[in-house]
Amino acid sequence: AQSVTQLDSQVPVFEEAPVELRCNYSSSVSVYLFWYVQYPNQGLQLLLKYLSGSTLVESINGFEAEFNKSQTSFHLRKPSVHISDTAEYFCAVSDRDLAGGYNKLIFGAGTRLAVHP
């Protein structure tokens, strides 16, 4: 079974500074990778995903993530953060059930990004 490790539980950063949230997963077989964001008192929202093709994927609000198969990583980056980016970020990887279907997402423990003025 897959596992996901988010190396930092909390990342404090000043506004307009760059940030990287790290994510490693356990298997090098073909996977689908996701980043979800959870704003305070809300459910999770999809931020971006890697399915195939270009290893660099981007979101509409300036985040990007790079799939690195050799390092089994999918780190999330943003060159300049805003106060409104304060949230918890979850990395997730698809996993197969016993029947072979992609019926679950395995989530990391989450990284709390706190952007300070």
Instruction: Provide the 10 A C-beta neighbour count for residue 18.
Output: 10
Considering only CA atoms, give the Rg of the chain. Answer: 14
Residue 87 is a binding residue for other proteins (CB under 8 A): no
| Structural element, H or E, at residue 113 | strand 111-116
- Of 17, 51, 56, 83, the one binding other proteins (CB under 8 A) is 51
Cα separation, 96 vs 32, whole angstroms: 11
Residue 32 is a binding residue for other proteins (CB under 8 A): yes
Residue in 8, 15, 49, 77 binding other proteins, rule: CB under 8 A: 49
How far apart (Å, rounded) are the C-alpha atoms in residues 75 and 107?
A: 14
Among 67, 110, 113, 115, which residue sits at the site for other proteins (rule: CB under 8 A)?
A: 110
Binding of other proteins by 44 (CB under 8 A): yes
Please give the residue ranges that form the binding site for other proteins (CB under 8 A).
4, 6, 9, 32, 36, 41-46, 49, 51, 90, 93-97, 101-105, 107-110
